[in-house]
């Protein structure tokens, strides 16, 4: 199967950047950004270097990362083998008193189907009615804070949390008022990306495949963790009994080897999960970039852009994906370990662990945010992770696209949609368990089982929608990075979106 790559776009038919009078064409600013002189590379040097970035024969990048990832998987397989073998031998999975019986499976399946149907419908509304949808979700976000405040005030009697939610609601209301001029651009961007997603539905299919793999991996990991802990605990833990004034005291102490095994399994979960998630993102970004650069050209987008993009993501770019995912996995693991120290009896140690964990959480959020855009460079050009990260930062700062990224409201729409669909599926689970699963409930476990059941149904519906919203988010990030590379391609494929950007952020498209 031939793989489409991205040749440099043809130069504009009219040399806009060579006509000084063209600067008078820009209308007054509405988004608060003043036009600035175009960067020096727009005078010719930058466009001359774009051709060098397209590589018709990409090579494997960051090979050490994929080799390290495979080696770590070997270690997980060994631990998983001992753990699962122990569970099977002990028949730990055959407990008759378990709540998870065959009769509870149908509502989970129904929640998934309804979540999928509602997600597709939500995507349809995002394309047909983007402006009202953005406004409604923005107002719902504000209302949720005040509703939560009322719940904590009148029902939970937690006045401190009620005040906190009121303060956040007021701040969100002020922010929404300042964002009102940005809504039209977000509406056009949302409509544009959704239209591409519907055209190349393989992006969504790939998302569901990734979801199934992630769920399977999570189940395997949980069983392996439980089994490995039960298998190795007798070998690394000792129990001592002592008689004190208050009676017999039993104390269990475990060697550091057991904790290292558990930390390793936790790290393996984070790293593998990040790799699965990133492969889906890079695949989607490659499809959007294919449309962005090749739609309307003689080369064309090809018949199977999703498969071609997936092939690149899992071959030449898999090392870069493993490298970036490794950084996130290390931060996640470090935070998890620090949280255990934060709960220690040593107050000073716990306080220090909390401070470091907060710092790592802040760093992690920045790395995840930046990685999302750096992976677009990996998807388009097949760069190494470090080179992609460096070029993404330079490109966005030089082009001024950080202004558009900061003003983007689409994430709010996608998050609220996912939460709404999750709540509807959770409500379905609540009704089902009350009308059809009454025999499973007793006075002792009634509330607990209902909460567990509703949370699972909520998670299923939420994840169904997240698959689609993640595909759209990948499209938005790809549009931002590709716009910084070559605004002229956007003018060719999506002229309405180009005009909106040109009106509000002329610095980004100056020279076009």
Each of the 512 residues of the chain gets a pLDDT tens digit; together they read 444 444 444 444 433 333 333 333 434 434 333 333 333 333 333 343 443 344 546 688 999 999 999 999 999 999 999 999 988 887 654 544 444 455 667 777 888 888 888 888 888 888 788 888 888 888 888 888 898 889 888 887 778 888 988 998 898 888 888 878 778 878 888 888 888 888 888 898 898 898 889 888 988 998 899 889 889 888 888 777 766 666 666 677 778 888 899 999 999 999 999 999 999 999 999 999 888 887 767 776 777 888 989 999 999 999 999 999 999 999 999 998 888 887 766 677 788 888 888 888 888 888 888 888 889 889 888 889 999 988 887 876 776 666 566 556 787 778 888 888 888 888 888 888 777 766 665 555 566 777 777 888 888 888 888 888 888 889 888 888 877 777 777 788 778 878 877 777 776 665 44
Q: What tokens were used for 127?
A: 């394309």
Q: Are 26 and 35 within 8 A, CB to CB?
A: yes
Average pLDDT value over all residues in the chain: 78
DSSP 440: G
Per-residue confidence (pLDDT) for residue 140, from 0 to 100: 83
Q: Are 193 and 123 within 8 A, CB to CB?
A: no
What is the tally of helices (H) and strands (E) in the chain?
18, 2
- Does residue 38 sit in helix, strand or coil? coil
Q: What tokens were used for 396?
A: 């966005």
Per-residue confidence (pLDDT) for residue 65, from 0 to 100: 95
Match 């003003």 to its residue by tokens.
407
Per-residue confidence (pLDDT) for residue 126, from 0 to 100: 83
Match 């407990």 to its residue by tokens.
95
Return the CA Rg of the chain: 26
Per-residue confidence (pLDDT) for residue 322, from 0 to 100: 96
Q: Where are the domains of the chain?
A: 58-87+102-236+252-501
Per-residue confidence (pLDDT) for residue 320, from 0 to 100: 94
Instruction: Write 14-22 long-range contacts (CB < 8 A, 24+).
Output: 16/511, 16/512, 17/42, 17/43, 17/510, 17/511, 17/512
Tens digit of each residue's pLDDT (9 = 90 or more) over 194-205: 888 888 888 988
Match 């605990």 to its residue by tokens.
233
Per-residue confidence (pLDDT) for residue 494, from 0 to 100: 78
Q: How many CB atoms lie within 10 A of CB 365?
A: 11
Per-residue confidence (pLDDT) for residue 403, from 0 to 100: 57
Measured CA to CA in angstroms, residue 4 lies from 60, 312, 375, 379, 471 at distances of 17, 10, 18, 12, 20
Per-residue confidence (pLDDT) for residue 300, from 0 to 100: 66
Q: Are 285 and 478 within 8 A, CB to CB?
A: yes
Per-residue confidence (pLDDT) for residue 404, from 0 to 100: 63
Q: pTM for the complete prediction?
A: 0.76
Please tell me the number of Cα atoms within 13 Å of 282 on its side-chain side.
Answer: 35
């Amino acid at each position: 199967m031939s793989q489409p790559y991205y040749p440099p776009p043809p130069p504009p038919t009219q040399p806009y950047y060579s006509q000084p009078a063209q600067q008078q064409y820009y209308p007054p600013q509405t988004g608060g950004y003043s036009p600035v002189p175009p960067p020096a590379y727009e005078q010719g040097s930058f466009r001359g270097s774009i051709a060098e970035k397209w590589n018709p024969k990409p090579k494997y990048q960051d090979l050490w990362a994929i080799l390290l990832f495979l080696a770590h998987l070997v270690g997980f397989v060994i631990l998983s083998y001992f753990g699962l073998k122990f569970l099977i031998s002990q028949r730990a999975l055959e407990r008759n008193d378990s709540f998870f019986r065959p009769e509870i499976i149908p509502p989970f399946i129904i929640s998934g189907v309804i979540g999928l149907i509602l997600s597709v419908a939500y995507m349809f509304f995002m394309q047909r009615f983007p402006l009202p949808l953005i406004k409604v979700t923005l107002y719902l976000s504000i209302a949720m804070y005040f509703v939560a405040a009322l719940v904590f005030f009148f029902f939970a009697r937690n006045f401190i949390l009620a005040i906190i939610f009121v303060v956040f609601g007021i701040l969100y209301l002020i922010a929404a008022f300042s964002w009102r001029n940005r809504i039209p651009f977000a509406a056009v961007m949302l409509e544009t990306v959704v239209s591409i997603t519907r055209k190349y539905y393989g992006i969504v299919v790939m998302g569901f495949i990734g979801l199934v793999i992630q769920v399977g991996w999570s189940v395997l990991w949980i069983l392996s963790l439980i089994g490995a802990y039960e298998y190795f605990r007798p070998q690394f833990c000792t129990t001592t009994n002592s008689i004190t004034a208050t009676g017999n005291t039993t104390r269990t102490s475990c060697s550091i080897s057991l904790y290292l095994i558990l930390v390793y399994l936790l790290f393996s979960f984070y790293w593998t999960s990040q790799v699965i998630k990133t492969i889906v993102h890079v695949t989607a970004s490659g499809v959007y970039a294919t449309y962005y650069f090749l739609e309307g050209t003689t080369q064309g987008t090809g018949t199977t852009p999703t498969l071609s993009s997936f092939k690149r993501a899992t071959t030449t770019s898999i090392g870069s994906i493993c490298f970036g995912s490794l950084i996130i996995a290390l931060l996640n693991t470090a935070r998890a370990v620090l949280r255990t120290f934060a709960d220690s009896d040593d107050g000073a140690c716990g306080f220090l662990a909390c401070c470091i964990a907060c710092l790592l959480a802040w760093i992690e959020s920045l790395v995840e945010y930046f990685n999302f855009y750096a992976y677009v460079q990996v998807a388009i050009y097949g760069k190494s992770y470090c080179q992609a990260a460096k070029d993404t930062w330079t490109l966005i700062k030089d082009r001024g696209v950080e202004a558009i990224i900061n003003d983007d409201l689409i994430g709010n729409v996608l998050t609220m949609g996912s939460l709404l669909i999750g709540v509807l599926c959770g409500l379905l689970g609540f009704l089902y368990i009350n009308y059809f699963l009454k025999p499973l409930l007793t006075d002792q476990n009634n509330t607990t089982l209902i909460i567990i059941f509703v949370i699972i149904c909520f998670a299923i519906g939420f994840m169904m929608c997240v698959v689609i919203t993640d595909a759209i988010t990948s499209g938005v990030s790809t549009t931002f990075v590709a716009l910084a590379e070559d605004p002229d391609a956007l003018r060719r494929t999506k002229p309405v979106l180009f005009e909106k950007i040109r009106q509000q952020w002329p610095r980004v498209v100056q020279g076009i």
